[in-house]
């Protein structure tokens, strides 16, 4: 169904053009616009499906490197500044320990955060704020994308990370979603050795958190200090 809908729309537009709409410039423009939008959607869908099957076949070419988490957050803010301002969303960074490093594949991590930030902006209501923050607690690194958007009813949360699952089909179709984003987030986060959590209150907002184990934390002085603090300084001489 998800693949058939855009294909049917493209075929219908092309057939209408063939059977005469081409000679009406206004109508022709509309149909060409439709072909362009629907083929873009089809392209995104196919890319997402390919990504999912690569993850499932464990054919991801993961190349772990030490990533400066606060630098990564700033990078994500740059990437999404324009789409946030277009939707009137206030996008900012929250607390993040300086020098916190995470050993992970950068492309995968960016893809995870992109999907979460994209959702927070896409489903924003008026005056929504989106905040990216990070912490190191009990040896675990957490990166959170918190929004003050519409929130998600509790009954949807258990199925939210399933492929093609959307809370509001009508609304999701309007904003062009296919329901693969969070499924990719879950699979990629787990492929990196972490896991993803969601907390949401309707009318208040949602927070998606990806959490990675201590082994992946970098050895900056601050990170080490924070870790030994949490361990009660037990391994100090």
Select from Mg ion, ligand ATP, none the partner in contact with residue 160, using the beta carbon and a kind-dependent cut-off of 5 to 8 Å.
ligand ATP
Binding mask 114-153 for ligand ATP (x = CB under 6 A): -x---xx--x-----------------------x-xx-x-
Using DSSP, state whether 98 is helix, strand or coil.
coil
* Between 6 and 181, CB nearer to Mg ion: 181
Closest CA to 185 of 168, 213, 202, 162: 162
Buried/exposed code over 179-209 (b: 16+ C-beta within 10 A; e: otherwise): bbbbbbbbbbbebbebebebebeeeebbbbb
Which among 189, 182, 141 is positioned nearest to 160, based on CA atoms? 182
Report yes or no: 115 and 184 within 8 Å, Cβ to Cβ: yes
Say how many C-beta atoms besides its own lie within 10 A of residue 123's C-beta: 21
In the complex, the smallest distance separating the C-beta of residue 175 from ligand ATP, rounded to whole angstroms, is 7
Q: How far apart are CA 208 and CA 112, in angstroms?
A: 11
147: partner contacted, choices ligand ATP, Mg ion, none (Cβ within 5-8 A by kind): ligand ATP
CB of residue 202 to ligand ATP, shortest distance in Å: 9
Specify the residue, 104 or 146, whose C-beta has the smaller distance to ligand ATP.
146
* Closer residue to Mg ion in complex, CB, 181/218: 181
Q: Which of 102, 113, 182, 223 binds ligand ATP (CB under 6 A)?
A: 182
Q: Which is nearer to ligand ATP, 35 or 180 (CB)?
A: 180
Residue 176 CB, nearest approach to ligand ATP (Å): 7
Interaction mask 159-178, ligand ATP, x per CB under 6 A? -x----xxxx---x----xx
- Dihedral angle sign, alpha carbons of residues 150, 155, 157, 160: negative
Query: Is the separation of the CB atoms in 129 and 148 below 8 Å?
Result: yes
Q: Across the strands, what pairs with 136?
A: 141
Beta carbon nearer to Mg ion, 150 or 181: 181
Binding status of residue 6 toward ligand ATP by CB under 6 A: no
- Judged by the rule CB under 6 A, the positions of this chain that interact with ligand ATP are 48, 115, 119-120, 123, 147, 149-150, 152, 160, 165-168, 172, 177-183, 206
């Amino acid at each position: 169904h998800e693949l058939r809908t855009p294909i049917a729309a493209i075929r219908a537009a092309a057939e209408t053009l063939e059977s005469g709409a081409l000679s009406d410039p206004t109508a022709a423009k509309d149909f060409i616009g439709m072909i362009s939008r629907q083929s873009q959607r089809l392209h995104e869908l196919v890319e997402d499906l390919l990504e999912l099957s690569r993850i499932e076949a464990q054919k991801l070419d993961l190349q772990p490197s030490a990533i400066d988490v606060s630098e990564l957050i700033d990078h994500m803010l740059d990437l999404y500044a324009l789409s946030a301002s277009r939707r009137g969303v206030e996008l900012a960074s929250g607390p993040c320990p300086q020098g916190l490093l995470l050993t992970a594949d950068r492309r995968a991590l960016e893809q995870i955060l992109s999907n979460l930030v994209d959702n927070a902006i896409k489903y924003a209501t008026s005056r929504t704020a989106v905040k990216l923050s990070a912490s190191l607690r009990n040896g675990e690194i957490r990166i959170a994308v918190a929004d003050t958007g519409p929130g998600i009813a509790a009954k949807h949360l258990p199925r939210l990370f399933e492929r093609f699952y959307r809370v509001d089909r009508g609304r999701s179709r309007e904003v062009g979603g296919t329901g693969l984003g969070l499924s990719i987030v879950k699979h990629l986060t787990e492929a990196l050795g972490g896991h993803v959590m969601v907390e949401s209150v309707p009318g208040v907002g949602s927070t998606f958190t990806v959490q990675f184990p201590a082994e992946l934390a970098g050895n900056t002085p601050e990170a080490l200090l924070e870790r030994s603090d949490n361990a009660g300084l037990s391994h100090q001489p």
